[in-house]
Amino acid sequence: MKTDAPPIAKTELTHVRASGERVSIVAEIGHPYQTPEGFWRTPVALHGLDGRLCDICGEDSLQSLALAVEMVRRRLASLSDAGDQLLDSEGSDFSLEAYLGKEE
């Protein structure tokens, strides 16, 4: 994360590529913060995949946080859409819908 503050949300996954290679992913969402200009930003990281990403900007803290969660959902969904598999910490299929809702 960009700050030293611990994430407010975190999950650990295993990304199983079509080749069979296994890569650990840690998805983290940080605490929304307000910029001097009045916008809100939420730190996001997908360690093992994209690393630390740009903070997600919103009009207020709720919008910024909601957009950050949606970005993580879409990025993880793109792996499944490409034919890769996501496993939870126990080795079972990771359910994007159970964690992050359905795509609209």
Residue written as token pair 């993880």:
76
Tell me the residue type at 17: R
Residue 32 lies in a domain: yes
Within-domain flag for 104: no
Q: What integer pLDDT is reported at residue 101 of this predicted model?
A: 67
What is the pLDDT, as a whole number, of residue 102? Answer: 67
For residue 31, what pLDDT is reported?
A: 95
Give the count of domains, the chain.
1
With contact defined as beta carbons under 8 Å apart, do 32 and 22 qualify? no
Q: What is the pLDDT of residue 6?
A: 81
What is the distance between the alpha carbons of residues 35 and 48, in angstroms, rounded to a whole number? 28
Domain that holds residue 16: 9-98
Model pLDDT, residue 2? 45
Enumerate residue ranges in the chain where pLDDT < 70: 1-5, 100-104
Beta-bridge partner residues of 14: 24, 87
